[in-house]
Structure 1
Amino acid sequence: MPYDPSAFPPFAVTVDLVVLTVRRDALCALVVRRGEQPYQGRWALPGGFVRADEDLTGAAARELVEETGLCVHDPHSPAPDNGAHLEQLATYGDPKRDPRMRVVSVAHLALAPDLPAPRAGGDANSARWAPVETLLGQEGGARGEEQSGQLAFDHTQILADGVERARSKIEYSSLATAFCPPEFTVGELRRVYEAVWGVALDPRNFHRKVTGTPGFLVPAGGTTTRQGGRPAQLFRAGGATLLNPPMLRPEV
């Protein structure tokens, strides 16, 4: 069949970012308040249109800086390692997802330790961290514009997909350490699992599992009292990318 340009209307490509961190023992996502139409005044995930001269990862990193002032590096880039993790999440292409025109979005998932308060920029009026349970309407206190379905575009679904990706990947990979500083205690790592999964874990069983999993953690050679109480041993992420046996998520 001959190529007919008129049969393929123009469309744009965007990047949307699910940026997750653990703050005050809660899994939080970065959201920005839109300063322009469509959905002016509504909360949304950070993101924007891909420029003609940039690749998808570059566009994701640029939009994150422009709208929030935060830098998250691709682990495969030559930039210095800041403990963050960036990966492509999924592609979203419903013809009606954007009222302006046909827009295909390539969503990215970014994970990092306790990130600082974001600053708004670009087409965002404000930016902040919000608990994912509130944004997804999974807790009884959620109400008003933060309830499930109130994020702009299809961003509630994108956020839900990003959260589930994080929850499932920390079962079988060392991804949970991306939420931790370079050196951390087993207790701090346990609180990451508890925040991401939304469950309470037995401290002794967790300590036995993570320290007994080959390549997961390596001693950092020091201790800390930053959590109060007796000095706790510090660890670093080991070289393993896949956990064997996996850290299975408790049933709730």
Structure 2
Amino acid sequence: MELSRLSMNQITADNYSLREVAEACESEGIKWIGPWRHKVAETGLKESVKIIQQAGLKVSGLCRGGMFPAASKAERMANIDDNRRAIDEAAELGTDVLVLVCGSSPNRDIDAARGMVEEGIETLIPYAEQANVKLAIEPLHPMFAADRSVIVTLGQANDMVERLVSSQVGVVIDVYHVWWDPRLYDEIKRAAGHIYGFHVNDWSVPIENTLTSRGMMGDGVIELTRIRHAVESAGYNGPVEVEILNSDLWKMPYKEILKRTKQTFLEHV
């Protein structure tokens, strides 16, 4: 895998600042970064833009928007407003991709929550179009349905994209969330033309914590190269984000994290 396509998703070194990660990317020859909103907020939006530009980096995507479902209309509208702010932040940072983690059900009605997700994205389309920012739905593994996303398969995300009929809406494919799906390769083909991001990591065995036990590439069971080839065959040739939430990894010095990320990306993706 070419180093030129590696993007360092900032959550992979979550204990460190945007400046530290950006400067380490520059020293390692990494050309892309994927910031998270909480890190941008810590640093300040204008200062974040300055840091990224000074390091000579491009932004592959901003994480995250979404979290649409809520118990009341007022709460849902507040979530829409927050997504508008996220769109503005993405545009200011110089990326045309906002990653959507869609949100969980506020009650036991999961179908209604999925309807809230679709309605929320539809409401945002005109604003995203004006800002030239794409809304990229990231389906999460089903184990996150209760607390993070009611969109749990690439097929569900593709269905939503097709119903919304807008070039502003597409998908992000994260191998951690989709590798298990028996329909994965059919759904990757179906996503052709609306894949707006590709995230890599690995599924280590056993998973000790659903959120913070992702493995470094090559440490688990995911067929990374096969999935990458399928995504490329579907027309996606953009940056590939390494997104690893791992509490043990976060304890390492950030320069070591970036060196290991670079090595395993080149060897296993």
TM-score interval (norm. to shorter): under 0.3
Higher helix fraction (1 or 2):
2
With the length of structure 1 as denominator, give the TM-score of the two structures: 0.28
With the length of structure 2 as denominator, give the TM-score of the two structures: 0.27
Greater C-alpha radius of gyration: 1
